[in-house]
Amino acid sequence: MKKHWNITVQGRVQGVWYRASTQEKAHELGLTGFVQNQPDGSVYIEAEGTGEVLEAFLSWCHRGPLLARVDQVLVQEGEVQGYREFEQRR
């Protein structure tokens, strides 16, 4: 069954290829949704997929790309939106 997660990643996550790496990982796992930078320096993600795949994605979000420093990851379950792909937003 498909689930929808709203994920906020805090730390040094802007300017370190976090969005591009997130999109790559989501494509690799077959997730849909989007990733975008937030004015407060965090990165916001909406991801949809099965629970097992979302868990693997969340585990990756805690690490992020090589140059990132992740301090905190907040997750909230939401309503499935039916995204067709996973995109990077500004």
Three-class SS state of 58: helix
Instruction: Please enumerate in sequence order all residues whose Cβ is within 8 A of that of 67, keeping only pairs 6 or more positions apart, or say none.
Output: 12, 16, 17
Query: Looking at 37, 63, 69, 89, which residue is catalytic?
Result: 37
Q: What is the 3-state secondary structure (H, E, C) of 6-28?
A: EEEEEEECCCCCHHHHHHHHHHH
> Catalytic: 6?
no
* Residue 54 DSSP SS3: helix
Residue 19: active-site member: yes
Q: Which of 6, 19, 84, 90 is catalytic?
A: 19
Active-site residues, by number, are 19, 37
